[in-house]
Amino acid sequence: MWKSLALVFFSLLAALPLQAAQQAPDVFMQQLSNELLEVVRKDPAVKAGDLQKLANLVDSRVLPNVNFQRMTASAVGPAWRQATPEQQKRLQEEFKMLLVRSYSGALSQAKDNQTIVVKNFKGNPDDNEVVVRSEIRGGSEPVPLDYRLEKSTDAPGGWKIYNFNLLGVWLVDNYRTQFSQEINAKGIDGLINTLAERNKANSRK
Amino acid sequence: MQGLSQRFTWLLLCGCLVMTGCASTSGGNPLDPFEATNRRIDAFNDSVDQAVLRPVAKTYFDYTPTLLQTTVQNFFGNLRDVWSVVNNGLQLKPKETVETGMRVAVNSVIGLYGLMDVGTPLGLQKHPADFGQTLGYWGMPAGPYVVLPLMGPSTVRDTAALLVDRQGDPWGYINPVASRNQGSVLRLVDKRAQFLGFDDRLNEMVLDKYSFVRDAYLQKRRAQVRRGPPPDSEDEQENFDRPDKNISNK
């Protein structure tokens, strides 16, 4: 009896995020942006520039909404398909570390008067891949910040980010040239090592 | 100074043409046939920046009042807006032209020659535009990527457009020349100071700064000259995480 009750209870729990899932993509991005800005503003450690704390925050709040495997694959380009699963895993770990650090750095400089305004979604919400546009406001010039999202059943909001565009530059695409330079010169393991060295150097600072 | 900087730009332009003549495009990036020369100029720019510009900008940032820095940014920003109005007009963008134009009017009059930014709180936003963007908007190709000495990333088209941009810069008509030059130095230092946090971060996140900056610059310029709102699938986003486009990876 208790066993089956517990089972019902847990399956209900498991079903909860599914019920909340699949928001409109612009609503989802607005919520995520607001939530992040609010946490960054309220946390004294983060305000004081604690990058480690901020990185943890990004890990728990942002990464569940990101398809990092796809992001890495896209930055690596065609060579991704030749990489072994182990290499893919390492590439993903190192690239994640690199991006989370720079993203945390950028977040830590968010000013109190800055807001992120997501523009109304004009595409078709039934599409599996959509673009959501937003602007960082507060300075004299609005800073455009766009996202590419894909539908995902295991993401909290029903969408996962797989690319983003700051000031007209798709960041993941911008990595492709440098990654392929490394791969052409030193192979996939060479790229992994270079990324690992860069992360080590960064964390020593 | 006006004459001098104009001659300087001409010199750069001729340099670009000479380079075009002897460019060898063996296996490199087709958008960057002068990569070897560009990398040398880039390294030169970096060393000048590290030795002079960055330290001066850091001192300026750390030791002058924030209010002064904001005022300097407002003032030169307003001058830049004047030229943006003209270029938005040349690109026949009514909303951008009117909004930036009203910004200039409000900031110049109520904001005391642009020292205060009254336009932003009123909802009048900047829409920066330059002549290179105007040329691109009307279909002129960007041409090869070039790194200009002391000025950084550009393309052949944007370098040529600099000649016109200089004519459209109100500060270039300030007399006496001594005050004009002092102001230009202040403008440069202030501009550099705004990127102080950013350059450290950039160094942390890239493997090869040269190609990252180049690709970002070219991508950004392409986005700036695009007609109308950006399409939602500007370039096909191939999902390399899938063996085939039609097969889901789940």
pLDDT by position in tens, chain A (length 205): 566 666 666 655 555 544 455 788 889 999 998 888 888 888 878 777 777 888 888 888 888 999 999 999 999 998 999 999 999 999 999 999 898 888 887 777 777 778 888 988 888 878 888 889 888 887 667 788 889 999 888 888 889 999 988 888 888 888 998 899 999 999 999 999 999 999 998 887 6
B237–A163 CB contact, under 8 Å: yes
- Chain A residues whose CB is inside 8 A of the B239 CB are 70, 73-74
Strands (E), B95-238: 145-148, 152-155
pLDDT in tens, B156-200: 999 999 999 988 888 888 888 888 888 888 989 988 888 887 788
Task: Tell which B residues from 125 to 154 touch A, by Cβ distance under 8 Å.
Answer: 125-126, 128
Whole-number Å distance between alpha carbons of A64 and A51? 19
What tokens appear for B129 in the block?
A: 């535009």
3-state secondary structure of B210: helix
8 A C-beta contact, residue B177 and residue B5: no
pLDDT in tens, B193-220: 888 877 888 888 889 999 999 999 999 8
Q: What is the DSSP string of B162-202?
A: HHHHHHT-GGGG-SSHHHHHHHHHHHHHHHHHTTHHHHHHH
Whether the CA torsion A55, A60, A66, A70 is positive or negative: it is: positive
| Cis preceding-peptide flag for B176 (omega within 30 of 0) | yes
B126–A69 CB contact, under 8 Å: no
User: CB count, 10 Å around CB of B218?
Assistant: 19
The tally of CA atoms less than 13 A away on the side-chain side of residue B64 is 16
What tokens appear for B94 in the block?
A: 């009514």
Tokens 């110049």 belong to which residue? Answer: B108
Q: State which residue of chain B sits closest to A133, comparing Cα positions.
A: B232
What tokens appear for A40 in the block?
A: 């960054």
Select from A99, A150, A169 the residue whose CB has the most chain B CBs within 10 Å, as the one to mutate to test that interface: A169
Whole-number Å distance between alpha carbons of B136 and B227? 10
Name which of B192, B186, B190, B185 is nearest B152 in CA terms.
Answer: B192
Q: State which residue of chain A sits closest to B223, comparing Cα positions.
A: A168
A70–B239 CB contact, under 8 Å: yes
Size of interface A-B (CB pairs under 8 A): 94
Q: State which residue of chain B sits closest to A94, comparing Cα positions.
A: B205
| Cis preceding-peptide flag for B170 (omega within 30 of 0) | no
Q: How many helices (H) and strands (E) does chain A have?
A: 7, 5
3-state secondary structure of A29: helix
What tokens appear for A57 in the block?
A: 């925050």
Name which of B26, B54, B20 is nearest B38 in CA terms.
Answer: B20
Q: What is the identity of the amino acid at A109?
A: Q
Specify the pTM: 0.80
Going by their DSSP bridges, the two strands A169-170 and A115-118 should be labelled as unpaired
pLDDT in tens, B124-162: 888 889 999 999 999 899 999 999 998 899 999 999 999
Residue A36: C-alpha distances to residues A103, A116, A187, B106 (Å)? 12, 10, 37, 35
B117–A106 CB contact, under 8 Å: no
8 A C-beta contact, residue B205 and residue A102: yes
8 A C-beta contact, residue B156 and residue B142: yes
Name which of A65, A46, A62, A44 is nearest A54 in CA terms.
Answer: A46
- Chain B residues whose CB is inside 8 A of the A163 CB are 237
